[in-house]
Amino acid sequence: MNGECHDWAGMDDDALQRSLRVQGDAWYELVKERCPHLFAAAPLFVTTAQLWQMQVVIAAVERVVKLPAWLSGSPFPNPDETTSHSTKPASGQVAGYLPQVGEGTNAAPSAQDYSLGVFYGYDFHLNDQGAHLIEINTNAGGAFINALLIASQREAGLYGAEVAEENLEQQFLAMFRNEWRLARGDVPLASVAIVDEAPESQYLYPEFLLAQRMFERAGIVAHIGDPSALQMQDDGLYLDEQKIDLVYNRLTDFSLQHHPALRQAYLDGNAVVTPAPAHYERYADKRNLARLSDAETLRALGASEADIATLLAGVPQTRLVAGADHDQWWQERKQWFFKPAEGYGSKGSYSGAKLTKRVFEEIMQGGYVAQRIAAPDERKVCLPEAEPQMLKYDVRCYVYDGQVQLVAARLYQGQTTNFRTPGGGFAPVRVVE
């Protein structure tokens, strides 16, 4: 079904446009001007078996990262102590690759001791060999945009309950309130800051506006701001003279090292920050994929044999890269996809088959992981007055507290998702037997 264009199986674009216009003329024009390829021209079909496998892999990851040894003294493959083509555990603490998040200046419990982290994005490639978890993100964008897309297609009768919870706005609100409750108990959540660098220039700034409106409809004061505008005062964190209870963190400075006011508020527990450095450390640093795809390491962590089997089948083999095996990496490069260990948004990621010698030498300096290629499948898209084209796709599961809130797809051309492809963008997912 993904290989054909079926009129009866398309999206209701009129319903989508009506939902977009309801957000207001200014918001609608912002989306049209800044994000012309935000929404794909066709839905993606997935099978019940593929959906089930993604859910099973997510559940296994959630169990493993909650094992006591995952962050507490667990062995982590170190390319300086073992060859880059070995995943045998070596000495060192897994927490060591980020600054210690618990270095607060007072004894008050910090928010990272309680909160779970909002909007985990589990990204999968689907193909004939199954569903393959290529990475986990802790500040996954697009949930509010996809909720709008889903609502429009549900109204048109084209979206089932299998891939999205009912009333997503209430689910999102409950998630943020739970983050606050875990840290502050029954104290009401009064104010939120949605924080990113130069937020108005961000591609997904329209999504920040959707989040702001959601909070305001719930009676929660919501600001959108740059972290440089945050200030620590005696009684807490402030933005534009507004005391901030909770920070919805969209920054890609995952350790907050470059944003001292926000980092200090986080460490001292003066604001609940979500997602936070502890969430990134536990889930999203790509070096974690090396452990999730290595049986010996998983057994050392205390994972069950069932979870080990699930993860070996569902997480492509991932290795830490160092220059010790330079020649072997060059010979095998076409089998691997190279990613910066602390990267985001596909920046600095390369298919080994397309590596130049110069870029390869830079990768060999360290700081990269190599993931065995699990090629994405394709979706045929037909546009008016244009030749049909085959677009690659990945599937993102938005997860909170181990539960899948919604499933969305991204259609694209090139090495990675880019939202620059005519006919590409976020696509609704429809489940078939």
Give me Rg for the CA atoms of the chain: 22
Which positions ≥6 away from 271 have C-beta within 8 Å? 111, 236, 237, 244, 245, 246, 247, 262, 265
For residue 425, give both structure tokens. Answer: 């963008």
Contact present, 1 and 45 (Cβ < 8 Å): yes
Which positions ≥6 away from 75 have C-beta within 8 Å? 89, 90, 91, 92, 94, 297, 300
Parallel/antiparallel/unpaired status of strands 272-274 and 246-249: parallel
From first to last of its 433 residues, what are the pLDDT tens digits of the chain? 899 886 556 778 899 999 999 999 999 999 999 999 999 998 999 999 999 999 999 999 999 999 999 986 434 444 443 333 433 333 223 333 333 444 433 333 444 457 899 999 999 999 999 999 999 999 899 999 999 999 998 887 776 667 888 899 999 999 999 999 999 999 999 999 999 999 999 999 999 999 999 999 999 999 999 999 999 998 999 998 999 999 999 999 999 999 999 999 999 999 999 999 999 999 999 999 999 999 999 999 999 999 999 999 999 999 998 777 888 889 998 999 999 887 776 677 888 888 889 988 888 888 899 999 999 999 999 888 788 899 999 999 999 999 999 999 999 998 777 888 889 999 999 998 8
pTM score, two decimals?
Answer: 0.89
Q: Looking up tokens 């505008």, which residue turns up? A: 229
Sequence ranges of the domains in the chain: 9-287+377-432
What pLDDT score does 78 carry?
Answer: 45
What pLDDT score does 265 carry?
Answer: 93
Which positions ≥6 away from 193 have C-beta within 8 Å? 222, 223, 224, 225, 230, 237, 239, 242, 244, 246, 247, 248
CA-closest candidate to residue 276, choices 102, 20, 395: 102
* Burial of 224: CB neighbours in 10 Å, binned 0-12, 13-18, 19+: buried
What pLDDT score does 158 carry?
Answer: 72
What is d(CA 376, CA 432) in angstroms, rounded to the nearest whole number? 19
